[in-house]
Structure 1
Amino acid sequence: MAISVPRKRFKFRLDFWTVVTLVSLGLVMILLVYPLFNILITSFISEGKWDISNYQSFFKYKHYYGALFNSFLVSSLTTLFACLIGIPLAYVMTRFNIPFKGLINILIILTLLSPPFIGAYSWILMMGNNGFITRFLNEIGIPFKSIYGLHGMVWAFTMQFYPHIYLYVSGALKTVDRSLEEASENLGIHGWRRVCRVTLPLILPTLSTGALMVFMASFADFGTPMLLGQGVKVLPILAYEEFISEMGTNPAMASTISMILLLITTSLLFIQRYVISKKTFGMSSMRPPAVVKLKRPVRILATLFVAAIVLTSIIPQATVITTSFIKTNGPVFTNQFSLDSYKEVLYRVPKSILNTFTYSSMAIVIMVAAGLLISYVVVRRKSKLTSLLDSLIMIPYVMPGTVLGISLIIAFNKPPIALTGTWVILVIAYVVRKLPYTLRSSTAILYQIDKSVEEASISLGVPPMKTFFKTTAILMLPGVMSGAILSWVTTINELSSTIVLYYGATSTITVNIYSEVINANFGTAAALASILSLSTIISLLIVNKISGNRGFSL
């Protein structure tokens, strides 16, 4: 006789964390999915009809597909040169007794956290048509081509983004099991052959992640190509110009370019993850590599190699700060010390300075709260809904800022939600774009907190929600704040989305720097850039203090 077993019914339990999940998912759908859906729909509309003519035009006219080729060329060369610099630098720094490692690491991280367009502006001051290096070389009879063009973009991006490779590879090299390298030496594989045939394949997954970060950062950047391109178009610039043009806007083509940008970046992410899944190696890491003490002559050469790279990459910061204290005569710097640039900045654009720190601070408060709550449901309350939430929030991780700005304007340019031209849309853009970084740091620290801590609190009669706020959140706070401050640094330096979303009263420091450089007001641009650089340095020191002087990690 068959015995029927009653089917277990799904019981929906509405508690605090369910509400957090549903509200977070709802906000993500409204602020991210809905805008992206809008630009997808707009890209298929031409003259009021549904068709694919915008995509056909993109691949038909060289003006469009040429920009795609330029973007791939610049990003590919940048990734290649960043690897050629970052891998040897990481190997020398992790395996040999190089002096001042702490200071060198801080300088490298400062290079990475500085906005790329400030680096581009600094290289213009040095190697532009009237740069002091350009003038000096021409005066002594050495012909020198200015930094404008594709080669200038590659140079500026390489010196800006090689720290991605350095940081990822350094972390991986420290975990390679020494016994594997020793075994290869016993088989007769020594020196660089061992590095190329054993060490590099072992760290390939981590190296590919760093390379992907470099490629996407250079592929999606707006400011550097705009300053150095001089007519050479890349996709982010093309999307911006189609959307905001003196000849009239073309939101359909801007949406098409935005969708192509997003498709490329997400595809690269999935391809990289697929490659990693096929190439992952397991290591015990019980015997990390020992630091080799070099003989004095070799140590001096290795130190000079490291110093040459780091000092070259930090030159833009030094140039910006130095020139901010030099008197200007129009676009030309004189030899006189002056505070006029700072006085002019405080007189002309104090509002943009206030806007920058106000909007960024508001965004960070939201990010910290969201990071704490969402990371908890993602890690401790795993379900299909929380997995979906986690995946959706990570989309902006690979989304160019220009694409996000265009999508928000198209979505919220008319009632019932009209946000275009307000400061609210800027704060939303910052939160959506930078939340993935705060969320990742929050989930990382939460994985390190044993569940037994919460269980002990609950067993003592403290309700679960109260346990989270009184125990778990406090334990998470140092890690969350480290990630949040780094997110804040990237937010105050944000240009790609801000340039699309701002209007006069909501302009920020980055927008004003861009405008001043375009108008050849290099003194005020230097003063504004110095304010950002100083804010970045202070933030980096705070992160170092919070993390117990362990520095920045990825």
Structure 2
Amino acid sequence: MLPIHLKKNAAIPLLSAFFFFLIVCPLATIFIKTIIINDRLDFSYTAATIMESQNAAMILNSLLLGLLVVITSTLLSIPLAYLFSRTTFARYQIFDVLFLIPFMTPPYIASMGWILFMQKRGLLEQIFPSLSGGVDSFFSLTGLILVMSLHVFPFMLTILKNAMTRIPSSMEESAAVLGAGFFRRMCRVFLPLLTGNYVIGALLVFVKTLSEYGTPYTLGRRIGFEVFTTNIHRYAAVAPVSFGKAAVLASVLVSICLLLWIAQNYVTTHHSYQLISGRGCRLSLKDLSVPAKLGSWLYIGIILIIAVGIPYFSVIMTSLIKLRGFGLTAGNFTLQHYTALFTDTEDALSAMGNSLLLAVAAATICAFLGTLVVLTLRSCHRKSGRPLEAVSLLPEMLPGIVMVIGIMLFWNDIYGILPLYNTFGILIVTYVVLFLPFTIQYVTSSFTQINNSLMAAGQVFGGTPIYIFRRITFPLIAKGIAAGWMITFIISLRELVAPSLMAPPNTLVVSTYIMREFEQGSVSLGMSMAVLCVAFTVAALLFLTRYVRRLPK
């Protein structure tokens, strides 16, 4: 039931038109800019841009990086997924939270932590003076792959772990009875059943890698490794600006992502298996031998150290060091950098205020629009609501920088009609477009558990649509709305691409403030802001999680 006075047949066209304007028009603008040159159809500009030596090399770099990150994430995730799903290690649920920390950490902050740790006269050299000159091998493609893999492997881990828990133990036991050894059971029984889920995880990791801007910008530039996001950003923000070339590269990136989605749908359609039926799914956890347990604990510890320990240690220590030249020595630690954020500079307070305002505004608007979309889709025929659902979820399928470039070009073109471009408002619009799918998915998840008979009963007893929504529907979906608000708020606090490209002059947010201080040499001040950003994010997550748990079921 809709909580507003809109007829069912009017709600879908109105919302569809609104999201077409908000999402489809910016994407269409990108493609139009690539083929309409001087008011005529011309593909030569697109071809010339792609064939430029630096752009052609960049495209190959991006695809190679994505492939290598998928392989590395797979190697990191498979042992962990097996341990936490098929062995007694599954009882240690604390690891579910610990291995989400790398994902919750903004990638540009983790990358900065690694740079501070590995660089010449860095923290590693101070701990181990014999490693003078830093670790040169880290500042290479290998280091970039490692840092990016440590950020995205939790996606692969979660998907594989959930898939493994749905494989009945009876299948593996049957193969063992027939004489198959462990590795043969893995290759002939276990891994084929994971194909569909693995393809989903691999595609997600690949697209996330192509979409990532923070790590390639902070670490990739140091080694001269350009990728899609850094080149698009350079063409759109660095003189001489070329929106045309940025649009061409963005359209190529969109095309690659869409082809990957098509391939993923084909594989999952033909390689998905129904493993849970009315007979249930019996899962027995294996008790490993003592050497296997020791090896497992060692592996888990190493992954946690390199994924969480090193970047957090570097960021926190750097924020506390008084003089970087003296490093980790007694008496060289201070809290003055934290104090300076609130007393010595207005930029830091302004950045924090802007980030909070953007996060609250974007999360609230997304919660309203996302709930409205889900309610509308639930009240209409399934086929008539598919276009609205597809358009509203479209930003989730595409790299964020593509949507940002599209919004830049589109709102710049209509500036004479709607002068929102180059204002604070355009940042709110961009955040809403980027993060709306999160709310839609969380509210949809809550709605799938509600039977329509509840609303029908409310109508039978004379309840108005508003009354039914307020007393029946809203309490049942409140957790989904709150979860969507929480995720949008957290991600908005750390967003980097949108403000770096679209923020009005002299307008900073937390992410751009950290990047500016890191690049200008005030590293301790930037890392102090990074620590506060992560701490506030974790505190907000814990508070809102506790609040959601208190909501009535």
Shared fold, TM over 0.5? yes
Amino acid aligned to 2:370? G
CA-based RMSD of the aligned residues comes to 2.4
Q: 1:510 to 1:330 in 2, by over 3 A?
A: farther
C-alpha distance in 1 between matches for 2:435 and 2:417:
26
Decide which of 315, 321, 327 is 1:326's aligned counterpart: 321
1:307 partnered with 2:301: yes
Within 5 Å, which residues of 2 pair with 1:147-546? Answer: 147-229=138-220, 230=222, 231-246=224-239, 248-284=240-276, 286-315=280-309, 316-329=311-324, 336-346=332-342, 347-348=344-345, 349-413=348-412, 414-542=415-543, 544-545=545-546
TM-score, normalised to structure 2's length?
Answer: 0.91
In structure 1, runs of 5+ residues without a counterpart are: 1-13, 550-554
Q: Determine helix, strand or coil for the equivalent of 2:191.
A: helix
C-alpha distance in 2 between matches for 1:384 and 1:506:
44
Identity percentage of aligned residues:
24
Q: What displacement does 1:512 show?
A: 1.0
Give the total of aligned pairs: 535
Q: 1:380 to 1:296 in 2, by over 3 A?
A: farther
Q: 1:322 to 1:186 in 2, by over 3 A?
A: same
Q: What displacement does 1:63 show?
A: 0.5
C-alpha distance in 2 between matches for 1:24 and 1:506:
32
Within 5 Å, which residues of 2 pair with 1:8-47? Answer: 15-46=6-37
Q: What displacement does 1:28 show?
A: 1.0
Q: What displacement does 1:31 show?
A: 1.3
C-alpha distance in 1 between matches for 2:403 and 2:187:
40
Q: What displacement does 1:245 show?
A: 1.9
Residue-by-residue CA offset, 1:176-207 (whole Å, 9 max, x unaligned): 22222222222222323212321222122222
Residue-by-residue CA offset, 1:398-447 (whole Å, 9 max, x unaligned): 22222222211111122101222211111111111111122111111111
CA contact (8 A) 1:86 1:163 kept: yes
C-alpha distance in 1 between matches for 2:349 and 2:172:
57
Q: 1:216 to 1:331 in 2, by over 3 A?
A: farther
TM-score, normalised to structure 1's length?
Answer: 0.91
Q: What displacement does 1:53 show?
A: 2.1
CA contact (8 A) 1:20 1:374 kept: no
2:96 alignment counterpart: 105
In structure 2, runs of 5+ residues without a counterpart are: none
C-alpha distance in 2 between matches for 1:352 and 1:238:
26
Q: 1:106 to 1:165 in 2, by over 3 A?
A: same
Larger deviation, residues 145-154 vs 270-279: 145-154
Q: What displacement does 1:497 show?
A: 2.0
Residue-by-residue CA offset, 1:208-246 (whole Å, 9 max, x unaligned): 222111111111111111111122210111111111222
C-alpha distance in 1 between matches for 2:140 and 2:326:
21
C-alpha distance in 2 between matches for 1:272 and 1:546:
37
C-alpha distance in 2 between matches for 1:296 and 1:329:
44
Q: Determine helix, strand or coil for the equivalent of 1:121.
A: helix
Q: Determine helix, strand or coil for the equivalent of 2:323.
A: strand
Q: What displacement does 1:161 show?
A: 0.8
2:117 alignment counterpart: 126
CA contact (8 A) 1:164 1:214 kept: yes
Q: Determine helix, strand or coil for the equivalent of 2:284.
A: coil
Amino acid aligned to 1:522? V
Q: 1:16 to 1:114 in 2, by over 3 A?
A: farther
CA contact (8 A) 1:221 1:496 kept: no
Larger deviation, residues 283-292 vs 127-136: 127-136
C-alpha distance in 2 between matches for 1:92 and 1:102:
12
CA contact (8 A) 2:125 2:132 kept: no
